[in-house]
Amino acid sequence: MQSGIKIKCKKRFGQFMITAKPQCVINDAETKQLEWNQELFIPLEPNIPYNITIQFPYMGGTKGKASLNIQLKPDEIQVYEYTTPQIMTSPGEIKRKA
C-alpha cells in the first residue's frame, strides 16, 4: 500500500466563471494539476512533513489559496475536500474527510 492524500476540489454554486483547473502545490516546489469534482490521489513519502496548498488560476492570478501541514505514517491515506471561497479575494477551505 502507498502513503498519500486524496483531494476532491469543489466549486460553490454559481461559480461558472472559474474555468481553470485547481492546483496542488507541495512544499512550495512541486505542483500537481487537480480536477473539479473528482477525487485525485497524490502519493507522498511517509514520515516527512509536507505543506500542501490548493489554489486555482483566476483573472491573471492565483485565488482561493488554502494550506495545511501534514505528516503521514507508512501506508496512511488521508482524504481532504477543498472548497472555493464565496469571494475570490478570500482563502478557500480544506476539510479533512478521513
> Whole-prediction pTM value?
0.92
Q: Could you tell me if residue 7 is inside a domain?
A: no
Antiparallel, parallel or unpaired: β 4-10 and 77-83: parallel
Mean model confidence pLDDT for the chain: 94
Q: What is the pLDDT of residues 56-68, one digit of tens each?
A: 999 889 999 999 9
* Residue 39 belongs to domain spanning: 19-70+85-90
Q: Could you tell me if residue 8 is inside a domain?
A: no
pLDDT at 98 over 80: no
pLDDT at 89 over 90: no
Q: Could you tell me if residue 31 is inside a domain?
A: yes
Q: Could you tell me if residue 54 is inside a domain?
A: yes
Q: Could you tell me if residue 33 is inside a domain?
A: yes
